[in-house]
Amino acid sequence: MHAIIQRLQDCLGLAGVLFEKEDVAPYCKDWRGIFSGDALAVAMPKTTQQVAEIVQLCQELHVKIVPQGGNTGLCGGATPEGDAPQIILSLKRLNQIREIDLANQTITVEAGCILQSIQEKVAASGAFFPLSLAAQGSCTVGGNLATNAGGINVLRYGNTRDICLGIEAVLASGEVYSHLKGLRKDNTGYDLKNLLIGSEGTLGIITAGVFKLFPSPFDHSAALVAIDDVSEMVALLHELQRRAGNELCAFEMMSRESLELTIRHFPEFNRPIFTAAKYTLLIELANFEVDNSSASNRVQAVLEETLEGYLVKGAILDAALATSEAQVNEFWAIRDHITLAQAKEPGNIKFDISFAISKIASFIKSTDAILQQKFNGVQIINFGHLGDGNLHYNLCAPKDAKSDYILNHEKNMTELVIAQIQLFDGSISAEHGIGQLKREYLMHHRGRVAYQMMVAIKKALDPDNLLNPNKVLFSEE
């Protein structure tokens, strides 16, 4: 047994350390089941001080650390890799809500809090926590910070970093960096919070964060819209932004193929869905005015009138408005199940990509055509956060292809799509991060200067390459 196990047990007690192979195994595989590795143990601290002690211990015994939250990441960032002795540091038990400060409209939470539990706690206090994604029942807020998660409310509230006012983190030195004052203005030197947010566990272990709270929407209006033309979608987005301002919270897009796939695996959703159209939009507006029916009607009326106008001029094919909050949730359930439906199929290649919204239509037209020409019948499961310029442009094998099709074509398909992303000035990762999945493309994509800056930051903050080695950047040892 490696010496670290006894030392971890001394620090965390027997309940705080897993080391039997069958107990450690579930933590060593990613959500999609495409990455796996080995770890000596899973350490589960309950306090920031214990996290600091574990880091010091690992330094002393030359054991690497893979931070892990809910293990829902889609890039293999939380999965151990390589032969070096390493442990998984699970933040799941570091899960207290430290403070809700309603006068400052902030909440301070520990990294292991499950996202949905924070939303519920905040709702019970009468306020609103806007970060929302389909994995919210299992992902942790520490993982959200470490990946700068996006989700479905970015249009109005921004990404995780935009709602975060400060963090606490344990550095590779074992020291604790703490900045949890909940200040909305603070120009004191370099922005260390934003350096750690999105660093995917490579620069520090995030142990807590303080977040802005917002007024709770009084109710929502939502619609599903059948539409063929991506340029018209973009025009509709701008029209709604002009008319509703930031009452427009979500503008999501789902291709016909992504809906067909979802219905195939979850037939209960086969109701108000337009599979004849090339795309279906899910649009949501929130009403923030007090409980009176004219306010609620106003938001609904903006949506109705705008869609009517688009219907009359033939820019959209059909629309279904939700008639109750329950139906709004039903619409979202369809959208949320696309990833789960994809997980039920054999292999696919995920591209979580972004563009200037003005370039999205041309990217889709050009890339769809080239892919079909080179990989006849390839299924393009294209959906995502159109309002943020973020597509989940996922590729699956043609319907009648052999089971090893994706394996055989993965490299060529990836290079083709990445070349298209470069051509249209996009990003190879909009919200999921780099992890292991997109690591080999990072240097080329960001360029030598940016990459070398990242290497210099990693060396400065983690000179012994202790934290999540070989993730985001290739290790140089």
One residue of 148, 221, 394, 436 binding ligand 2HG per CB under 6 A: 394
Q: CB 473 → ligand FAD: shortest distance, Å? A: 12
β-bridge mates for residue 176, sequence order: 170
Q: Indicate which of ligand 2HG, ligand FAD, none lies near residue 435 (CB less than 5 to 8 Å, by partner kind).
A: ligand FAD
Binding mask 1-40 toward ligand FAD (x if CB under 6 A, else -) reads: ------------------------------x---------
Q: In the structure encoding, which two tokens stand for residue 186, read together?
A: 């603070």
Structure tokens at 357: 């919204």
Mapped onto helix, strand or coil, the DSSP state of residue 452 is: helix
| Vertex 70 angle, CA 180 and 84, to 5° | 95
Within 10 angstroms of residue 334's Cβ, the number of other Cβ atoms is 24
What mask of x and - would describe binding to ligand FAD in positions 456 to 475, judged by CB under 6 A?
------------x--x----
392 near ligand 2HG, rule: CB under 6 A: yes
67 binds, options ligand FAD, ligand 2HG, none, Cβ within 5 to 8 A by partner type: ligand FAD
160 binds ligand 2HG (CB under 6 A): no
Which partner from the list ligand FAD, ligand 2HG, none does 420 bind, CB cut-off 5 to 8 Å by kind? Answer: none
| Residues facing residue 173 across a β-bridge | none
| Contact (CB, 8 A) for 416 and 380 | no
| CB nearer to ligand FAD: pick between 127 and 467 | 467
Which of ligand FAD, ligand 2HG, none is residue 414 near (CB under 5 to 8 Å by kind)? none
Please state, in angstroms and rounded to a whole number, the distance separating the CA atoms of residues 339 and 281.
17
For ligand FAD, the binding residues in 237-266 under the rule CB under 6 A are none
- Give 148 or 394: the residue with its C-beta nearer to ligand 2HG: 394
Based on the shown chain and the rule CB under 6 A, indicate whether residue 255 belongs to the binding site for ligand 2HG: no
Q: How far is CA 6 from the centre of its chain?
A: 36
Cβ density class 342-373: b for 16+ within 10 Å, e for less = beeeebbbbbbbbbebebbbebbeebeeebee
DSSP, collapsed to helix, strand or coil, labels residue 264 as: helix
Query: Please, what is the minimum distance in Å from the beta carbon of residue 330 to ligand FAD?
Result: 18
Interface residue with ligand FAD among 37, 80, 130, 150 (CB under 6 A) is 150
Question: How far apart are CB 429 and ligand 2HG at their closest, in Å?
Answer: 11
User: If binding is defined by CB under 6 A, does position 205 make contact with ligand FAD?
Assistant: yes
Which residues in the 308-347 window bind ligand FAD by CB under 6 A?
339
Question: For ligand 2HG, which residue of 64, 92, 179, 350 counts as binding (CB under 6 A)?
Answer: 350
What does 140 interact with, of ligand FAD, ligand 2HG, none (CB < 5 to 8 A by kind)? ligand FAD
- Residue 439 near ligand 2HG by CB under 6 A: no
Query: Cβ-closest residue to ligand 2HG?
Result: 339
Q: Which is nearer to ligand 2HG, 79 or 207 (CB)?
A: 79
**Nearest distance in Å: CB 369, ligand 2HG:** 22
- 17, amino acid identity: V
| Min dist. Cβ of residue 210 to ligand FAD (A) | 15
The residue count for binding ligand FAD (CB under 6 A) is 37
Side chain identity at 171, as an amino acid letter?
L
Residue 458 touching ligand 2HG (CB under 6 A) = no
- What are the phi and psi torsion angles at 456 (to 5°)? -65, -40
Does 134 bind ligand 2HG (CB under 6 A)? Our answer is yes
Touching ligand 2HG, residues 302-341 (CB under 6 A): 339
Shortest Å, Cβ 343 to ligand 2HG: 8
**CB neighbour list of residue 158: distance below 8 Å, 6 or more residues apart:** none
Alpha helices in 377-429 (DSSP H): 405-423
Segment 373-377 long-range contacts (CB within 8 Å, at least 24 positions apart): 374/412, 374/416, 375/409, 375/413, 377/401
Per-residue HEC secondary structure of 321-350 comes to ECCCHHHHHHHHHHHHCHHHHHHCCCCEEC
Among positions 424-453, residues that touch ligand FAD (CB under 6 A) are 431-432, 435
- The phi, psi pair for 393, rounded to 5°, reads -100, 80
Radius of gyration over every alpha carbon of the chain, rounded to an integer in angstroms: 23
CB of 133 to ligand 2HG, least distance (A): 6
The 3-state secondary structure of 178-228, one letter per residue: ECCCCCCCCCCCCCHHHHHCCCCCCCCEEEEEEEECEECCCEEEEEEEEEC
The distance of closest approach from Cβ of residue 121 to ligand 2HG in the complex, given in angstroms and rounded to an integer, is 24
Using CB under 6 A as the criterion, which residues of the chain lie in contact with ligand 2HG when the complex forms? 134, 339, 342, 350, 352, 384, 392, 394
